[in-house]
Amino acid sequence: MVRQFIAAAVLAALPVGSSAIAQEASAPERLALEGVAAIVNDRPISYSDVRQRARLLLLSLGGQQPTQEQIQQITGQALEQLIDEQLQLEKAAEFELEIAPEEVNAAVDDMARQSGASGDQLKQQLLAAGVNPTSLEEQMRAEIAWNRVMSGLYGSRIRISDNQVDEQLSRVRNSLQQTQYRISEIFLYAPDPETQSQAMQAANSIIEQLKQGADFRIAAQRISSAPTSATGGDMGWITTGDLDPVLAEAVEASVGPGLLGPIATENGIYILNVANKREPAKLTTKVDLMRLQVTDGSEADLKGALAQIETCDDVQSVSNSKSNLRHADLDDIDVEELGSEGKALVLATEVGQPTEIFAAGGGLAVMYVCRREDGAEALPSRDDLKGRLKDQELNMISERELRDLRREATIIYR
């Protein structure tokens, strides 16, 4: 997904009339002198490319104008991002997939439009800050190509079963009974000591920018390697049980909303933003009921009617067959409204079955439990959950595919 929210931050961070007018972009002989930062499957990435991307990343966060020290701190992360993009474009080339310049330009225009500017104005502002717009264009090209390849290969294959939705609903329902935190994340993938050191430097630089006013959401969209980058790092309301133990410990030890990190884990470095905390919710149980009553107190007639009813759909027709039978629909009822005895009867009954017979208004009655949902008012819809699960699975496949490409590639750091 091309990240759509950086234009305003870029334009806000860029100086007008800077003296750094694309010196690196206009001096190819300088690139040759400075050399190559890495070679990826025989294709070079220059030091100039890395510096351009590092500056672009920091500018796009929307904080203050980055210093040379901050740019240096994030060069390792910029290089890893360029390596990933080169591998993504190579994969797209295997399928003869090419992203037309018009598509990239349209994406730039869309981004610029978010801040009321044109694509050309955005490019001019980048040039004025010493950033070649090609760096942004190539990032977009890789993102468009990679998402198109992943969607084409796997999008139609992903099937989310009803059991998966049920399990997720159960997890959400259980989480509502625990302390929850609203957390956003930035994850810098770093699986070995060398890249961990580089990622730690980058994380410190990012935190400096965030403390100076950079937008966490934009930073996550631009830099994070986590699947949540598409939503600005937002993990939603979660419990500490949903987190890596190292992250959970940091969250539980936090004294209030704010930034946490950098936090080193086995696979990389995290920056967390804890926005809020809420204690366990008081869950309500909602039910749909159909009450069947015999008005003259004839238990034999009521039991005879019960013998004819197989599902809730049969209650009305059986009720209409005898003059002493009445039925009533009671939809979306909070069980607390039923009183202690009614609540106990309903909760002791399986969905689709009648309660025990009880006295009601001079007669006898039962209640069929046609639907029951615990904590229903706080739960997402099944369709929403199915969509989220599909997106999560596609994101995980995409991340795995990229990691496999890196393992299989010949990457030489210079």
What's residue 23's pLDDT? 40
Whether the per-residue pLDDT at 28 is higher than 80: the answer is no
Per residue, the 3-state secondary structure of 15-60, as one string, reads: CCCCCCCCCCCCCHHHHHHHCEEEEECCEEEEHHHHHHHHHHHHHH
Whether the per-residue pLDDT at 24 is higher than 70: the answer is no
pTM for the structure as a whole:
0.66
What's residue 362's pLDDT? 76
Q: Where are the domains of the chain?
A: 7-155, 178-280, 285-374
Whether the per-residue pLDDT at 292 is higher than 50: the answer is yes
The matching CATH number, chosen from 3.40.50.1860, 3.10.50.40, 2.60.40.1120, 1.10.3720.10, for 178-280 is: 3.10.50.40
178-280 and 285-374, same CATH topology? yes
Cβ contact 136:56 at 8 Å = yes
Q: Which tens digit of pLDDT belongs to each residue from 297-309?
A: 899 999 999 999 9
The reply to whether omega before 262 is within 30° of 0 (cis) is yes
Whether the per-residue pLDDT at 9 is higher than 50: the answer is no
Identify the residue with better confidence: 48 or 16.
48
Instruction: Give the residue-averaged pLDDT of 51-74.
Output: 79
The model's confidence at residue 32, banded by pLDDT at 50, 70 and 90, is very low
Would you mind telling me the total number of residues written for the chain in this entry?
414
Rounded to whole angstroms, the Cα distance separating 6 from 348 reads 54
What's residue 34's pLDDT? 62
Identify the residue with better confidence: 287 or 12.
287
Q: Which residue has the tokens 């209030």?
A: 256
The structural architecture, per CATH, of the domain 285-374 is Roll (3.10)
For the domain made up of 7-155, give the CATH fold.
Answer: Triger factor/SurA peptide-binding fold (1.10.4030)
Whether the per-residue pLDDT at 312 is higher than 60: the answer is yes
